[in-house]
Amino acid sequence: MKKLLEIAASSAAQAEVFSVRTDSVSLRMRNGIPTDISATIQSGFALRIIRDGMIGTAYTKNLLDREQLVRNALAGLKGEVKADFSFPGPADLPSRPTPDGSIEEMGCRELRRHGGEVLESLKGRVEGQIDVHVGRGVSRVAIVNTSGLEVSDSSAQMYVFASLLFPNTETSIHRVRFSNRVEGFPPGELDAMVSLYDAGLPEIRVESGRMKALFTQDTLYTLLWRLSAGASGKSIHERVSPLIGREGERVISEKVSFGGDPTDPDDIDQRFFDDEGVPASRRMFFENGVFTGPALNLDYAARLGRRPTGNGYRKGDETVASLPSPAIQSPFIAPGDARWDEMVASMDRGVVVLGVLGAHSGNILNGDYSVGLNPGYYVEDGRIVGRVKDGMIAGNAYETLGNVASVEAQLNQSVMGGRYPSILLDDVSVTARN
């Protein structure tokens, strides 16, 4: 990396080298029979150079020809993409504990053993199929630049995913456990999963209308995706966000505080710098319902005349092929004070949103959503009576989150990443095809 940086620095005022390596193994089982085993190793290097106020980029999967990579980045300058920012210098960053080496040593045999333990706990307790997905990943990120920055971070995580399918469907109740240690589900969590599954076995038809909706940790991303898009510095700069001019204003319920904290030791993706080397920190973008300001990387901070917030991340399947953009990393919602059973008991009529289809549909930037319930449970007089057949839920994320009845006191890991409580919302439009 340093050799590449030296070559690039000889042709540009500023240069940055980003590298990543990931090593992962996963195993999928259905009713205890392996259906898919995969092992992947990916690595790559990305180069950004700044000269005469313009930026050029290039990437490669190896460093066999450093000079060619630099020439590719220099050729990118012809695109005349402005860069009004400078790469950050060194910062005094904390160090986190050394990753659990036993995770890196896990192979298919160990993964199958962990998956088998989950299967044994569930076998014979449900009518439908049982899917178990177990995996582990090890990654290393490093960044060096001509401002003297030199940072790196290594991490190791494992996960166990369990899914209980309703008979003759692909609709399921599922749970996931991410950890930076070798461990499975906490005691009692699979029991609670079975109880929830049993409550949804009756399939019922309901009348359409406006009613309460209890979004769980695995479905809140439908709403938070819209909020995150609006809070992006890119959306603010391009003037396509509904949050323009609303900084310091309450835009959702005061019961909701939403942000990200990559430095949280309980987060499996803990890191103290973003993908540009800017120090990361706990930051709330919606504090008690008030929009506090946008998420910013180096580029959009400069465009908006602000300081970067440490939210520049490379997203996508090909990390080195993407450019850093504003993103809320390690997202979470601050817990409230309600228990799950209390929230259900308080519903006179409503749905529990346990899974969705079509979260990408609707005008995301505007906050609009319209998703299928997959599954959704119907609640009447504080009691779950069954699984909704052919149900949909729709609205606007800002309006929906502006009408919050209660927030769960517990944070739960989401299959989509992040940690959230369940949130009970009032007056949501539910449509059922009868």
Per-residue DSSP letter, 298: H
Shared-domain flag, residues 153 and 262:
no
Q: Are residues 156 and 234 in the same domain?
A: no
For residues 128 and 249, membership in a common domain is answered with no
**Amino acid 434: pLDDT:** 63
Full domain range(s) for residue 342: 202-434
Query: In whole angstroms, what is the distance from residue 113 CA to residue 134 CA?
Result: 10
For residue 401, count other CB atoms closer than 10 A to its CB: 27
Among 195, 214, 246, the domain boundary falls at: 195
Q: Are residues 352 and 434 in the same domain?
A: yes
Low-confidence ranges of the chain (pLDDT < 50): none
CA distances from 113 to 30, 36, 106, 136, 329 (A): 14, 15, 10, 13, 32
What is d(CA 210, CA 217) in angstroms, rounded to the nearest whole number?
22
In terms of domains, do 163 and 311 share one? no
Q: Is the pTM of this model over 0.75?
A: yes
Q: Of 155, 174, 195, which closes a domain?
A: 195
Strands 150-165 and 130-145: antiparallel
Determine the pLDDT at residue 194: 96
Do 41 and 84 fall within a single domain? yes
The confidence score (pLDDT) of residue 229 equals: 97
Task: Assess whether 133 and 191 both reside in one domain.
Answer: yes
The pair of three-digit structure tokens given for residue 99, joined into one six-digit string: 């990753």
**Concatenated DSSP letters of 25-73:** EEEEEETTEEEEEEEEEEEEEEEEEEETTEEEEEEESS-S-HHHHHHHH
CA distance 331 to 125: 34
Domain with 22 in it: what CATH number? 3.30.2290.10
User: What's the pLDDT tens digit per position in 304-335?
Assistant: 999 999 999 999 888 999 999 999 999 999 99
Cα–Cα dist 352/379, whole Å:
7
Beta pairing, strands 383-388 & 203-204: parallel
pLDDT for res 184: 87
Q: Which of 195, 229, 260 is the last residue of a domain?
A: 195
Mean pLDDT of the chain: 95
Q: How many domains does the chain have?
A: 2
Assess whether 190 and 206 both reside in one domain: no
The answer to whether residues 237 and 339 belong to one domain is yes
What are the tens digits of pLDDT across the range 112-147? 999 999 999 999 999 899 999 999 999 999 999 999
Q: Could you tell me if 168 and 276 lie in one domain?
A: no
Number of H helices, E strands in the chain: 10, 25
Residues 328 and 301 in one domain: yes
**127 and 210 together in one domain:** no
Q: Which H or E run contains 176?
A: strand 172-179
